[in-house]
Amino acid sequence: MRIQDDLAVVHQAAFDRIVVELAAALNVDSDALRGSGHLIINGVDIGLLDYGLHDPGRMTLFFDLGAIPASREAAVCRQLLETNLLLPSSFGTFAIIPDNGHAAIVYRFDTLDGVDGITLAQAIFDVLEKHAGIENALCKTHRKRIEDIQRQLLMGRSGEES
C-alpha cells in the first residue's frame, strides 16, 4: 500500500502543477479551476478530470459538445462510435458525459510525465479552433438547407399560382 500512496502523492503534485500552469496560461483562478474541474471558453465547457487514487498518473480533458436531440440519440451515438473507430486517438475520442448525456470529445493522458499547463492550454485552443470550424461548417450547411427549402417553397407557390 505504501507504493500506491507514494504514487498518489507524486500524481497529485503533478496534477496540481498542471492546474496552476494551465490557470496562469488562461488567466483564471487556479483554486477555482482545481475546485470545479471546469472552465468555459468561447461558450464551451471544458472539464479536467483527475482520477487521484483510483488511477494515479491518469488525467482526462473533455470538451462538452452539447445535448444530443432525443429524436436523434441512437443515430448520433452510432456515429460517435463509428468515428472513434475510424479516427486515430490523436483526434480525441467521442463519448457521452454520464452526468448530463451530452456528447463530448475526450483526450486521455495515461501519464502526466511531460504534460505541462502551457502545452495543455495550447491544445485546448487548437481543439476550440477545430470545434469552431466544425460549428461554422454545420451552420453554413444548415443555412444552405434552409435557403434550399425556402426556394422550393417559393417555386412551389409560384407554380401553384400559374
| CB neighbourhood size of 109 (10 A) | 16
Residue 162 has pLDDT above 70, yes or no: no
Residue 145 has pLDDT above 70, yes or no: no
Helix (H) or strand (E) holding 97: none
Mean pLDDT of the chain: 80
Can you give the pLDDT at residue 96?
92
**34-73 pLDDT, tens digit each:** 899 899 888 889 999 887 666 666 788 999 988 888 888 8
Q: Taken in order 94, 98, 99, 102, is the CA torsion positive or negative?
A: positive
| Residue 36: closest CA among 24, 21, 19 | 19
Number of domains making up the chain? 1
The structure's pTM equals 0.72
- Residue 85: which CATH number? 3.30.1460.10
**90-108 pLDDT, tens digit each:** 788 889 998 899 999 998 8
Residue 139 has pLDDT above 60, yes or no: no
Between CA 41 and CA 18 the distance in angstroms is 18
Q: Which domain holds residue 128?
A: 2-161
